[in-house]
Structure 1
């Protein structure tokens, strides 16, 4: 298992930071997290301008701590959608207040995002990464500089060097000390329908994904 896909780094820092003198006014969150599971710290944006950049999104969410941005591509072209990773779960509510606000001349829709939806988006982008994209390069370059911390806050790990015949059952057995469902495992397939030797695995918690790092560079046995 090699370097993981960088998603969320230490909550005390941000790739984008907060602009000096930020005066972003927060309204109180609509509900308390005391008795509920905090929302997954990612929102999905729809209707972005096709020349949209990470800087545009950082300005759109002025005052929030943005950790990473994933632009979505279809057939090698930017689709107008993106996922924005925030440093804190509570900031999801604040990000949703930007729904139907404008970037340039286009209003942008902001939605809550489920954990599995985000993982699948990452998997699709990795599978399509051979074509390259100006929207993709910046965040990936930053990700490679922080690979050690990747995914430890969102609970997802990226596996590399898997046998091409590895199945979800094999991966679940590899991580048998943890509770993992088949739906939380995404094996990357290339454009020819063949496994690439990579997969994403979602764990029940950030603590589990961090503990699972003890399996790094261990041998995965294939069931016969």
Structure 2
């Protein structure tokens, strides 16, 4: 894109071929970034509309930059016009923000005619994001899980165990077998003398999670077992 630094309020028109080239580069880079997002996404709230928006956002940013050019009056006018828009969609994942900023930067580079910068940035930054996502870089290795237990107040033999000491509970032995350490987070009494217990458990091995829930399910007084884990932690 041609610039006239001597007159910041001037308007230098773009050739049709330059406009088409800028939009094509923004389109191709936006498609590449959206595919990288799709391949590297590890969350639970995947949105197809967000993936499509990444492509169009790169092109729209390119159009905005071409419309502004080197004209300061247009730039300030655009800021005023965009200030009336209210974006109320909450971005749940920080990684989504990274991809949004990436397509904005790519669209900006394509809009000013820096095609090589836009393409190389897409390749290098996109490859970095893909590798980080696939390798699980930065994921916690503590193997911490939340175990919820619903237990009855009576044992299988019919004896009332409501007054038993906490350390004598039958599930403690199971937790000690599969976990390096476990800590009681909450305890709540329910209907019919049932107990709702929550434990923070650090497993010895990730593959012990199914065995732990199975062993707890066969433990005396235990009626229900639920195990929760962070989706970003390895299983």
State the TM-score, normalizing by the size of structure 2: 0.29
- More helix as a share of residues: 2
Q: Which has the higher strand share?
A: 1
User: Bigger radius of gyration, 1 or 2?
Assistant: 2
Q: Which has the higher contact order (CA 8 A, sep 6+)?
A: 1
Please, what TM-score do these two structures have when normalized by structure 1?
0.30
